[in-house]
Structures are given as structure tokens and as C-alpha cells.
């Protein structure tokens, strides 16, 4: 996931927060709770799919065709990123999603956008560690 996609996610999050309707907030809450409640160890693929789909809920709430276009590849990129990082990130992802939901529910668009940026940047950092560890093990 590159910086451009992270910025697109932050923009979608910011706009979604600004334009959030009660039905959208309810859908977001349900999506986050569903994703967070799935057991990571048993079915990581299913959990990752649920978390990646949250971006679509945010894009719907943003109600902006340009933003929808900008984030069209994000669920797939986020899926690949989380699969690479693995279940070790389950708690990190769930905590970030809950913070995101709280910020959006409070109407803090800038805080929600920052949370999304930090979260995705953190997952990228973990991916670098995981890849470095795997490469280091291969080289030994």
C-alpha cells in the first residue's frame, strides 16, 4: 500500500465523517464489530476480508464519486497488507477500528483521518519487519 492510497483512505475517512448519516454510522458500527469479533487464529482470511471491506462503507458514507474511484483498489491492497502481516496484527487492527469508530461518532473528521493514516502506516511498518524477518531467515 503506497502513500497515495493511504492519503485516499484518509480523504475518504474525513469526508465520510463529515457526511455521516445515522444509517451509515450504524452500518459502519456493524461492520467494525463483525470484523473485530471474528477469531483471528481460526479464519484470518475471513477477518481480513471483513476489515478490508470497511473502506467500502466509508466510501459509501463519503458519497463522492471521485473518492469512490480513488479508493477502489484499497480493499484489495489492504487485504494483501493484512494477509502479509498476519494474525499478530489482529489486536492492533481491532483497536484502531474502535478508535476510528469513536472519532467518527464524535464528528472528529481530522482525528479519524489521522487514525486511518497512522493505522495503515503502522501496518506497512509491520509488513517491512515481517518481510525483513523472512528474508533474514532465508539468508541464514
- Residue range(s) defining the domain that contains residue 30: 3-134
Confirm whether 139 is domain-assigned.
Answer: no
The residue among 52 and 41 whose pLDDT is bigger is 52
- Asked if the structure places residue 140 within a domain, the reply is no
Helix axes of 3-19 and 74-85: crossing angle, nearest 10 degrees: 120
CA distance readout (Å), 71 to 23, 37, 121: 21, 25, 16
pTM of the predicted structure, to 2 decimals: 0.86
**Composition of the chain by helix, strand, coil, percent to 5:** 85, 0, 15
pLDDT by residue (tens digit) across 1-43? 588 889 999 999 999 999 999 999 999 999 999 888 888 677 8
Q: List the CATH number of the domain containing 66.
A: 1.20.120.530
The answer to whether residues 82 and 51 touch, using CB atoms and an 8 Å cutoff, is: yes
How many domains are there within the chain?
Answer: 1
Amino acid at each position: 500500500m503506497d502513500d497515495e492510497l493511504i492519503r485516499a483512505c484518509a480523504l475518504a475517512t474525513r469526508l465520510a465523517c463529515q457526511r455521516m448519516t445515522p444509517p451509515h454510522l450504524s452500518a459502519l458500527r456493524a461492520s467494525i464489530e463483525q470484523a473485530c469479533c471474528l477469531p483471528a487464529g481460526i479464519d484470518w482470511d475471513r477477518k481480513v476480508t471483513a476489515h478490508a471491506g470497511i473502506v467500502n462503507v466509508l466510501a459509501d458514507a463519503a458519497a463522492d464519486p471521485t473518492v469512490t474511484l480513488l479508493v477502489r483498489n484499497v480493499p484489495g491492497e489492504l487485504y494483501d497488507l493484512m494477509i502479509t502481516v498476519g494474525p499478530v496484527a489482529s489486536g492492533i487492527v481491532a483497536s484502531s477500528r474502535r478508535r476510528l469508530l469513536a472519532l467518527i461518532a464524535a464528528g472528529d473528521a481530522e482525528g479519524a483521518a489521522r487514525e486511518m493514516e497512522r493505522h495503515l502506516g503502522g501496518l506497512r511498518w509491520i509488513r517491512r519487519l515481517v518481510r525483513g524477518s523472512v528474508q533474514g531467515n532465508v539468508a541464514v
